[in-house]
Amino acid sequence: MGKRKDVLFVEKINMRYTSEMEKAMQGSHGIGYEEYQLKHDVRMEVEQRREKEYVKSQRMIADIDRKIF
C-alpha cells in the first residue's frame, strides 16, 4: 500500500459581515474580519480560543446545575 499524504487547503472565507460584527471581533479577539479571513494561523488561534471558552462555559453550567439539583 502507498503512503497516505494529508493535504491541507487554506482558502479565504467569503463572508459578509456588519460593522457590529467587526466591532465584536475587534473587542473579543483584537483582530478584524479581514485578517481573520486571510490568515489561517490567526483563524486557528481564534477558533481554539473560542473552543476553550465554550468548554469552560459548559463546565460552569454543569457546576451550577449540580448545585441547584
pLDDT tens track of the chain, all 69 residues? 556 666 655 566 676 788 898 999 999 999 998 898 889 999 999 999 999 999 999 999 999 999 987
Q: Which three cell numbers mark 17? A: 459581515
Residue 35, Cβ density class (10 Å: 0-12 exposed, 13-18 middle, ≥19 buried):
middle
* Residue 28 pLDDT: 92
Q: How far apart are CA 48 and CA 44, in angstroms?
A: 6
* Residue 12 pLDDT: 62
Q: Which three cell numbers mark 43? A: 483563524
Predicted structure pTM score: 0.67
